[in-house]
């Protein structure tokens, strides 16, 4: 598809590994130079008498379920972790902990509120050939198990191996991307109900590792709105059982809806879709993402390619479940893609695609809200190449194979875009949220948790050939938890919040305020690159625990800090081995006013 040509040509995912290695010589040279210069540089370290600052941070998306951690539940299994070491099973678990069960063992959750469904994040061992195992797991509700209360678990979509772009062959070594999810509608369960996952004799996996369970009160299926065309009605007759390919039938209904000015209805059912459903000037709505499902090899809903983007498209209330098992950046296997101007996407649940949503500009005016994107082999959502006045909000992104949310100004600047009130959990590679160039964009009210390798919580950088950052970038009211990593390519830590001047000086104004940075794996804040970083301000930032430093300075530049307070540091306040980086301090900067050169042992 033409809409994917830029993505395929540049292979931004390849850049995460290959591009880093390509430029590692530059970074190593910078480190050698600054080490030779000794500790110092232009660092303003002025002590202030101050009290505790008030930081609001960000709570992320308001989610329709309660998330319960397995390690906090009743269990006779084995709690694994905490461990943040890449390729370790516990490192990819939420909070770096999970529970492993074998025959006769269980984990039992007590519901704090009413629910009628369960979604379990789990890992079971892979098969020796990498094709995956599938096994049941018994569910008990208040001590009672019925045959319908059985989850189906598989390693078919998890367990990748080797280096980028990864493979399903265990012989490649370096296992990763261990977890997947499975869901089940149950009967009504009031608060206080005990839901037990137990390995019975019929449950055949060698072991079951349970990370968490989401319990949701799922509303009944929505009814077909008046005047909508149903894809199951004549003459379209799309099969809701999944037995027959429904791609052409649904496409004909979409074309008719656009021509007649009518919405298109996707009723309850599983519809096999094996290609792109092309949409323009049409609404496609379903009965809800628990009921209306598009599933199949190659499934996707796409707008036309820019510079003639689709317009006035509205997608709502259904699920897209792909069958992607590996990562091929040139493959057009995204859940939603193309170009969608003046359009909306709401309450869409996407799993097992390459990217959840990848959009190629230029176009303007896309609003995404209330979506769930999980278990992809690449990004969660990417605004690529000149997308403007677009927003992602109230969206959950979990277990991506690359950046959770990204804006990549490849040839044209993404501008006036916003990522607001989203939750990003467990990006297995790269960052929770990333801005690559662009102008006047905003990241606000988000919560990012548990990055793993080659990335941190939030990154702003001039890299991947992006249009250089300009205007004012606003990063306000965000929370980063257990973010950052030890990067084996760089051979030093990546910050929970990091600024990266790789392709050229990072000179656009960047305003960071009201940020909570908790339990960083290595340093909390990082300035790194092959050139200078300037015009960065940090105001009201609280660092609560960092494996190494509060601030890691690895490139020349300058920043202004006001009310930046740190506690629980594993090393000194500032890492600097001779680069001329000037921090101008304001009031209430405390807890990080020491400096040293040299890295402690890797923090994992």
Residue range 302-311, pLDDT digits in tens: 999 999 999 9
Q: What is the pLDDT of residue 152?
A: 98
- Say how many C-beta atoms besides its own lie within 10 A of residue 235's C-beta: 8
In this predicted structure, what is the pLDDT of residue 34? Answer: 32
Question: Chain-centre distance of CA 433, in angstroms?
Answer: 7
φ and ψ of 94, to 5 deg = -60, 130
Q: How far is CA 420 from CA 69, 151, 218, 433, 513, in A?
A: 25, 34, 25, 11, 14
Options 1.10.10.10, 3.40.1190.20, 3.40.50.2020, 2.160.20.10; CATH of 222-369: 2.160.20.10
What pLDDT shows up at residue 47? Answer: 36
Q: What is the pLDDT of residue 603?
A: 76
Topology match between the domains 65-216 and 222-369: no
CATH of 65-216, one of 2.60.120.260, 2.40.30.330, 3.40.50.720, 3.90.1150.10: 2.60.120.260
Instruction: Give CA–CA dist 277/338, Å, rounded.
Output: 11
Which pLDDT belongs to residue 407? 98
pLDDT per residue over 309-357, tens digit each?
999 999 999 999 999 999 999 999 999 999 999 999 999 999 999 999 9
Give the per-residue pLDDT at 33.
30
pLDDT score recorded for residue 44: 35
Which of 344, 465, 357, 483 is closest to 413 using CA atoms? Answer: 465
- Residue 205 is predicted with a pLDDT of 98
Ranges of the chain with pLDDT below 70:
1-50
Contacts of 505 (CB under 8 A, 6+ apart): 462, 468, 531, 532, 533, 534
Who contacts 130 (Cβ-Cβ below 8 Å, separation ≥6)?
Answer: 159, 161, 167, 168, 169, 170
Q: Is 11 left (phi over 0), alpha (psi -120 to 50) or beta?
A: left
Closest CA to 492 of 164, 22, 32: 32
Where exactly are the structural domains of the chain?
65-216, 222-369
Q: What is the pLDDT of residue 50?
A: 53
């Amino acid at each position: 598809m033409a809409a994917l040509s830029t993505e395929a040509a540049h292979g931004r995912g390849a850049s995460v590994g290959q591009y880093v290695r390509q430029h590692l010589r530059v970074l190593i040279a910078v480190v050698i130079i600054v080490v030779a210069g000794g500790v110092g540089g232009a660092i303003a370290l002025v002590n202030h008498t101050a009290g505790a600052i008030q930081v609001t941070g960000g709570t992320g998306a308001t989610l329709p379920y309660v998330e319960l951690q397995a390690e906090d539940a009743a269990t006779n299994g084995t709690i694994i972790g905490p461990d943040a070491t890449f390729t370790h099973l516990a490192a990819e678990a939420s909070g770096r902990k999970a529970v492993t069960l074998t025959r006769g063992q269980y984990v039992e959750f007590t519901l704090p509120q009413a629910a009628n469904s369960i979604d379990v994040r789990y890992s079971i061992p892979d098969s020796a050939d990498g094709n995956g195992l599938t096994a049941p797991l018994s569910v008990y509700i208040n001590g009672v198990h019925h045959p319908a209360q059985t989850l189906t678990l598989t390693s078919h979509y998890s367990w990748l191996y080797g280096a980028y772009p990864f493979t399903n062959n265990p012989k490649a070594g370096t296992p990763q991307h261990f977890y997947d999810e499975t869901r089940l509608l149950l009967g009504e369960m009031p608060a206080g109900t005990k839901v037990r996952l137990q390995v019975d004799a019929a449950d055949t996996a060698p072991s079951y590792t349970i990370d968490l369970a989401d319990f949701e009160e799922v509303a009944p299926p929505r009814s077909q709105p008046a005047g909508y065309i149903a894809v199951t009605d004549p003459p379209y007759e799309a099969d809701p059982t999944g037995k027959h390919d429904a791609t052409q039938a649904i496409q004909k209904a979409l074309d008719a809806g656009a021509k007649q000015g009518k919405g298109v209805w996707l009723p309850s059912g599983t519809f096999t879709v094996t290609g792109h459903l092309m949409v323009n000037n049409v609404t496609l709505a379903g009965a809800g993402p628990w009921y209306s499902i598009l599933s199949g090899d190659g499934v996707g809903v796409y707008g036309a390619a820019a510079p003639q983007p689709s317009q006035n498209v509205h997608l709502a209330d259904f699920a897209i479940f792909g069958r992607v098992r590996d990562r091929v950046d040139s493959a057009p296997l995204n859940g939603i893609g193309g170009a969608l101007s003046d359009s909306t996407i709401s309450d869409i649940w996407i799993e097992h695609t390459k990217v959840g949503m990848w959009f190629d500009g230029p176009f303007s005016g896309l609003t995404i809200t209330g979506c769930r994107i999980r278990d992809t082999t690449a990004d969660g959502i990417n605004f690529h190449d000149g997308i403007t006045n677009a927003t992602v909000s109230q969206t959950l992104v979990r277990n991506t194979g690359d950046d959770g949310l990204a804006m990549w100004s490849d040839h044209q600047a993404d501008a006036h875009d916003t990522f607001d009130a989203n939750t990003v959990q467990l990006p297995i590679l790269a960052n929770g949220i990333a801005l690559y160039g662009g102008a006047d964009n905003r990241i606000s009210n988000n919560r990012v948790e548990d990055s793993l390798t080659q990335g941190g919580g939030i990154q702003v950088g001039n890299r991947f050939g992006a249009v250089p950052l300009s205007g004012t970038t606003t990063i306000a009211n965000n929370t980063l938890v257990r973010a950052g990593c030890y990067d084996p390519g760089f051979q030093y830590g990546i910050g929970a919040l990091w600024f990266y001047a790789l392709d050229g000086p990072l000179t656009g104004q960047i305003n960071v305020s009201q940020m909570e940075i908790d339990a960083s794996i290595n340093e909390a804040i990082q300035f790194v690159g092959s050139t200078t970083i300037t015009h960065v301000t940090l105001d009201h930032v609280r660092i609560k625990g960092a494996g190494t430093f509060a601030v890691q300075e690895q490139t020349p530049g300058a920043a202004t800090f006001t009310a930046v307070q740190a506690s629980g540091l594993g090393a000194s306040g500032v890492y600097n081995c001779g680069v001329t980086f000037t921090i101008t301090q304001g009031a209430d900067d405390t807890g990080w006013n020491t400096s040293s050169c040299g890295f402690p042992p890797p923090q994992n």
